[in-house]
Chains A and B, each alone.
Chain A
Amino acid sequence: MPKSLTPRLAALRDEIHGYAKEFGLDFFDTVFEMVSYDEMNMVAAYGGFPTRYPHWRWGMEYEQLAKGYEYGLSKIYELVINNDPCYAYLMESNPEVDQKLVMAHVYGHCDFFKNNFSFRHTNRRMIDEMANHATRVRRWVDKIGVEKVEDFIDRTLSLENLIDQHSPHIRRNPDPRRAEDELKANERVEGFKVGREYMRGYINPSEFLDSQRKKVEDEKQRAKKFPERPQRDVLLFLLEEAPLEPWESDILAILREEAHYFAPQGQTKIMNEGWASYWHSTIMTRRALRDDEIIDYADHHSGTMGTRPGAINPYKLGIELWRDIEERWNKGRFGKEWDECDDLRARRSWDKKSGAGREKIFEVRKHYNDITFIDTFLTPEFAMEQKLFVYGFNDKRNSWEILDREFRKVKSKLLQGLTNFGQPIIEVVDGNHENRGELLLAHKHDGQDLKGDYARETLKNLQSLWRRPVNIITRYDNKGVMLRFDGTTQTEKKVEL
């Protein structure tokens, strides 16, 4: 079981804590606990939490982590939970310099969790909440049976990415246009304007009014869509509208809540890891390192920052971008004058000594997420310096290759990968499709096709929750396709878009 820190480590923690405060980091109380590698793997398999509902996929995760550790391929250094107080885990067997690095890194994360706007609506008592979820699910397992519950969880997990990551920030108002239409419709039923009261019966005979009223009524009925507007939060829609058993609703609600909890971490991965790395690097190199620890520290730091051609390392990209922003604002490399200067030499030696870098990065960590962060601060110079490129699959050569180093393409590919976590955007369009209670989803196609076999399997799982047939409109090879599963057979037909 997790242990509290040894006196020696507690002293180190106090030291690092002091540096973090000194640099102006602002975080919830942070509790460090010592765990063995086995416990570390467990907590990591649980997505960072000490307790989760029972499910085989944690076991799968655990198997992979444990294997990776035993073969010496990988090792988890740090785990921190966005909670108030923050919880962070240190591995018993790590050398002291690693523990210091991890502590400094963790304070960076905690500062980010507390201050970044994306986390404004997250539950800060999630550890308790997750434990409650576990208890609830276990109770259902006892009542309903493990097979059934597990099967339902599997199906629901298959839809887990169909949430609206922005929904916690949205407060919906009734659509003003609808109210207007309603008013107009009512007017029409009153009939034509009548100047003389005794003429009313002639100008607006009651049969005419009745027929008008019926027409309006029909129109309204037709216009009344369900859902009123396309719904991105498919899980919510299912929760409200699907004919679920009480235990099913409860589990669905649990999984949806957990998915929403993790969403902002996905939205800020590059910023958050970069921020924490920036601070462990700053704190360690400016304050905390002892002479004899430098080599080990440099080794581990560079290990974390390592890149390989086929992927973006969020730690590396993040820390470099933060440093770039700091430098640019230190040297006044922003604003109209800078943008308009195209003398390369002048740009290279540009230094207004504004010294506003630190202040700027603290501001940025508050108001941005990965998408706006990249969109605003990724410059052509930076992309070149970091040697960023777009890669793609070459079918003819059957291999991955570098496609382009052009700045705009790199940036847009990067942003594309971040939009909606690089997941397709899918909405509920109609919950009463063809007036037969069928469910109709639409995939907002952005140039990338859905993975076909996965889509069909997912559709099956969706159908099992909705009970009635389900359909999804998407595009393959630029042609509109509607996939359908009615509970027994899969069908596919062309549709006009």
Chain B
Amino acid sequence: MTLKIHQDHSRFKQIVRGKIKANLRKYVQKGEMIGKKGKDAISIPIPFIDIPRFKYGHKEQGGVGQGEGEVGQQLGPGAVEPGEGHQAGQGEGDHALEVDVTLEELAQILGEELSLPNIERRHNEKIVTQKIRYTGINTTGPESLRHFKRTFKQALRRQIAAGTYDPARPVIIPTREDRRYRSYKLQDLPETNAVIIYMMDVSGSMGDEQKEIVRIESFWLDTWLRHQYKGLEARYIIHDAVAREVDRDTFFHTRESGGTMISSAYKLCRDIILADYPKSAWNIYPFHFSDGDNWSADDTRQCIEMLRNDVLPNVNQFAYGQVESPYGSGQFIKDLREAVGDTPNVALSEIADKDAIYASIKDFLGKGR
């Protein structure tokens, strides 16, 4: 059955989508959205979707409330919620509307707005897993799968039909024939597997702002790649003079003070790929972020060698993002550009500040690899 409202509802969703699209650049720069990420949806505050009116500012207005408390006592947070119903004519509300958008939809919008090409999968052969789905009811099965409700219903039905059901004493006794069991089917689930390996320089010269940029950037990269591949894994490596693998949380919140030896990270990255992600089965995306201030030219040479020989042949695309910091020389990206800049599966991007994130996402994902 369709309701009339669904037309208005889809129109509303269309408008929301348009708003998000129009303001995408702003959302991309803002970090706070990431915190609102749920399992597969994210709520986005939409400005000005409510209709402007001549009205009082709510803070200006104040109001009358009811309850305990001394004069001067603060009302708890959330106590005053303008715009909630049940307030006879007491102002309408300043709250921005929060709209839930699925990550899938967000990725689509991102793709449309940045005109990102769909990724050409390197591996078309799919890994197939099988999954058990409980879809039906059967008259036989193990007791552990007995469907209590259906069994009861069946027994009730039989007793009523047989005339042995007594409403005054409603005792139902299921017999062997009444028993119902869940039955399952095996389903083939096609899976294309991809892994992102994030690497970040956490040496002293990478400040909070630089890390924030990486965090925002990684959110959008995740969103897009997740849209492109089902089953995306992520690994995190931090490094200063030495590299180690960490979990996501540590990745974004660690600050070290040491020097920078990028080769340590690339070495670990190589080892992870070799150990866990055979080229034949995985789409592999290393992303490295740094302020580009490597320890020595010698180390840089090592890095390039490792990239050429061990990393690039195995991955879909290697991406390096250089975040500008007041301390870094920014030499590394120049060296990379010179050495591997022409290689098709290398993406390099300089990210000056939050405004530049938008463009750099395009740098990274625009190649469609």
Q: B67 is contacted by which of A58, A60, A387, A418 (Cβ under 8 Å)? A: A387
Known: A161-B55, A401-B75, A454-B55. A309 touches B62 (CB 8 A): no
**A–B Cβ pairs within 8 angstroms, 26 of them:** A56-B12, A59-B7, A59-B8, A59-B9, A60-B49, A60-B97, A160-B53, A269-B88, A270-B88, A307-B65, A308-B65, A309-B69, A309-B76, A309-B79, A310-B75, A312-B63, A314-B86, A387-B68, A389-B66, A390-B65, A391-B64, A402-B72, A417-B88, A424-B56, A448-B60, A449-B60
* Interfacial residues, chain A to chain B (CB-CB below 8 A): 1, 38-39, 41-42, 45-46, 51, 54-60, 62-63, 67, 150, 154, 157-162, 266, 269-270, 307-317, 370, 386-394, 397, 399-405, 410, 413-414, 417-418, 421-424, 426, 443, 448-455, 457-458, 461, 472
A46 to B9, CA, bound (A): 12
Q: A402 is contacted by which of B12, B55, B75, B81 (Cβ under 8 Å)? A: B75
B55 with A315: CB separation less than 8 A? no
Q: Mark B38-72, 1 if CB is under 8 A from A, else 0.
A: 00000000001101111111111111111111111
Q: Which residues of A contact B80 (CB under 8 A)?
A: 309-311, 391, 400
B15 with A56: CB separation less than 8 A? yes
Q: B54 is contacted by which of A314, A414, A426 (Cβ under 8 Å)? A: A426
Total A-B pairs in contact (CB under 8 Å)?
222
Q: Mark B158-174, 1 if CB is under 8 A from A, else 0.
A: 00000000000000000
Q: Which residues of B contact A316 (CB under 8 A)?
A: 66
Q: B87 is contacted by which of A45, A312, A458, A472 (Cβ under 8 Å)? A: A312
B64 with A458: CB separation less than 8 A? no
A410 to B64, CA, bound (A): 7
Minimum CB distance partner of B1 in chain A = A1
Q: Which residues of B contact A42 (CB under 8 A)?
A: 3-5
Known: A315-B86, A413-B64. A56 touches B71 (CB 8 A): no
Q: Which residues of B contact A311 (CB under 8 A)?
A: 63, 65, 80-81, 84, 86-87, 90
Minimum CB distance partner of B8 in chain A = A59
B74 at interface by CB-CB < 8 Å: yes
Q: Which residues of A contact B15 (CB under 8 A)?
A: 56
B248 at interface by CB-CB < 8 Å: no
Q: Mark B1-19, 1 if CB is under 8 A from A, else 0.
A: 1011101111111110000
A312 with B12: CB separation less than 8 A? no
Q: Which residues of A contact B9 (CB under 8 A)?
A: 58-59, 62-63
Minimum CB distance partner of A413 in chain B = B64
Shortest CB-to-CB span from B120 to chain A, Å, is 37
B73 at interface by CB-CB < 8 Å: yes
Shortest CB-to-CB span from B270 to chain A, Å, is 47
A242 to B81, CA, bound (A): 38
Shortest CB-to-CB span from A381 to chain B, Å, is 15
B3 with A39: CB separation less than 8 A? yes
Minimum CB distance partner of A412 in chain B = B64
A59 with B90: CB separation less than 8 A? no
